[in-house]
Amino acid sequence: MLTENQKIELRKQQEIEKLKKRQERYAYLGILSEYQLYGKKQLQYKKLNPYQHYLFKRVLHGFNIYTKEEKAQLHWDKKRRIKKVWCRAQKVLNHWKQTICNQEVNTWMEKTFGNDAKAIWSIPAKEILDNYNNILTLKDLGITYEDVILKFIEQGLLPKNFLSLKNEVIKKTPERKSKVQKVKV
């Protein structure tokens, strides 16, 4: 049985560990610089305007935001650009998830084996494999949509002024009339 002083000391130690982990995560992943760039302006996914939401979802989900009819009406060049940006976004997210996993494995190894962990096994956090597809979800890794938005801005997948974009009308692709006329027989 633990005394009250020991329980208080354990709680303090857990809180300190939480803060260290959070600080390392933001400092390590480069998100801190984005937060410093925008100051005290709080980024909340639920407070994005419809235009910002549309741009973010298009980068994150690609063609899955369009219906079959809308996709069929898109110009071939726009389809190519959407696919290119979506593939790049998936690659960025996959690399980011691998980096976080490597960091978590190293942290776990250090906690489990102490200072001898590096002699046993050490994965460089920046070491990533292009042909490996990380299947962990963003939620499993503790990544929020706000973090993803900042990462996309940092990587140039979303515009630098994304957070200051005003609500614009999302232009639907107008229906194109077929140039081929049906021949009556």
User: What is the separation of C-alpha 74 from the centre of its chain, rounded to a whole number of angstroms?
Assistant: 26
Sole residue written with tokens 């776990």: 108
Q: Which residue type does 53 have? A: H
Q: Which pair of structure tokens corresponds to residue 12?
A: 């303090």
**Tens digit of pLDDT for each residue in 128-150?**
888 999 999 999 998 998 899 99
* Confidence class for position 171, pLDDT limits 50, 70, 90: low
Q: Which pair of structure tokens corresponds to residue 77?
A: 């060049």
**Tens digit of pLDDT for each residue in 19-57?**
666 644 554 444 555 555 555 455 666 678 888 889 999
- Give the start-to-end residue ranges of the domains of the chain: 41-164
**Tens digit of pLDDT for each residue in 77-122?**
999 999 999 999 999 999 999 999 888 888 888 888 777 766 667 7
Q: Are the C-beta atoms of residues 51 and 157 closer than 8 Å to each other?
A: no
Q: Which pair of structure tokens corresponds to residue 175?
A: 């229906």
Q: Are the C-beta atoms of residues 117 and 109 closer than 8 Å to each other?
A: yes
